[in-house]
Amino acid sequence: MEQSNFIHSLRNKRIKIKVIESKLPNGRAFRREVVEHPGAVVILPILDDRVILIRQFRTAVNSWVHELPAGTLDKLDETPEDCAKRELREETGFIAGKIKKLFKLYTSPGFCTEVIYAFLAKDLRRGISSPEETEFIQMLEVSLSEAIGLVLKDPVLDAKTALTLLYYERQIK
């Protein structure tokens, strides 16, 4: 595929929206809006065979959502693993003794570059959470089956959480 030509963009704190002109493999030209995202992580914390799940109010959907701890890579040089450790600590207070990358996924590759790296966190020790001032989070400790049930029955399904829990249940456990 031929290199895309940049036309213009809009940027905020976390994302950039670009309009590009590109060509398909058959030579047909087109314009597309692309959301550039720095990437994110989702963490599956396991504590004594229990899943640490959060219930968080999400302004974008104006609803409470059951999900795993997660967050955006904030610093230019922050690795996904460092981000996973930071987000786990910030949102739950837990510090992982072991952290393992499970997989990565594109959230919406039709218009967005966001890639989410899924991690498994074990050997957890309790610490103090420090959520961002715009985050309102309630923490739950539940069995894997309860976590999957809560997520799948939630009126607002969080895809990264559902996929991570089901991947763990099918591939790891």
The domain that holds 58 is classified in CATH as 3.90.79.10
If asked whether residues 80 and 15 sit together in one domain, one would say no
pLDDT in the model for residue 1: 46
* Burial class (CB within 10 angstroms; exposed 0-12, middle 13-18, buried 19+) of 47: middle
More confident residue, 163 or 173: 163
If asked whether residues 28 and 95 sit together in one domain, one would say no
More confident residue, 149 or 15: 149
If asked whether residues 51 and 75 sit together in one domain, one would say yes
Count: domains in the chain: 2
If asked whether residues 24 and 78 sit together in one domain, one would say no
Would the pLDDT of 76 be above 90? no
pLDDT in the model for residue 135: 82
What is the average per-residue pLDDT within 145-157?
89
Cα–Cα distance measured from residue 143 to residue 51, given in angstroms and rounded to the nearest whole number: 6
Catalytic site residue from 33, 91, 114, 133: 133
Question: 47 is in which domain, residue-wise?
Answer: 40-172
pLDDT in the model for residue 81: 97
If asked whether residues 52 and 133 sit together in one domain, one would say yes
More confident residue, 141 or 9: 141
Mean pLDDT of the chain: 90
If asked whether residues 96 and 50 sit together in one domain, one would say yes
Annotated active-site residue 133? The verdict is yes
pLDDT in the model for residue 130: 86
pTM for the predicted model, two decimal places: 0.88
Token pair for 144: 């894997």
